[in-house]
Amino acid sequence: MSDQFRTPADPSIHNGDGAHVDGVTPVVVRTHLSIFARDPEASAQWFADVLGMTVTARGPHWVFLSFGRKHHDLALIQADDDASHGGLGLQHYGLEIRGDVDHLRRLYGMLLSKGVTVVKTTDHKIGIGLYFEDPDGNRFEFFAETVTDDEEGRRVLGEHHAPSNPIELEPLYG
């Protein structure tokens, strides 16, 4: 069997309308995000500066970037001239960070020092989220997990109805 697919251990897995899935589900080992940008080259510079990404490929209307472990994690595609800032589609893309809440606070300070628009900081009961925008208004989240056990995380999310409660988070600089 291909390592891209697995048979679910739990036979009660269903699709969204309640029908049983045919026993094959993807095992996602990584993701990438593809977003529209008014100026892919300028946005690529922003992602390199703010997130430390590296350009791995480019074409006349697109740029691919990586965090350094894979060929690409982000694709920036030239948007139509009449595209609206922030537009419909992506609500946010969460980037779980390695590190604790103090590291998240240092990232907060870095974003502010680079003039990045920070939208909000939230307590999700399983971690702390720091939401910010790229130059085209796409929203990203740095997420510092505080509940590391997935089963416990699912329980807490269910119990608290997937909370996104505002929280005061003091940025750390330097």
| Residue 147 burial (CB count, 10 A) | 16
For 118, counting Cβ atoms within 10 Å of its Cβ (0-12 exposed, 13-18 middle, 19+ buried), the class is: middle
pLDDT score, position 157: 86
Mean pLDDT of the chain, nearest integer = 84
For residue range 123-160, list pLDDT tens digits in order. 999 999 999 999 999 999 999 999 988 889 898 988 88
Q: pLDDT at residue 173 above 60? A: yes
Domains and CATH numbers, the chain: 31-80 (3.10.180.10), 91-174 (3.10.180.10)
DSSP string, 26-39: E------EEEEESS
Q: pLDDT at residue 92 above 80? A: yes
DSSP state of 21: P
pLDDT score, position 26: 64
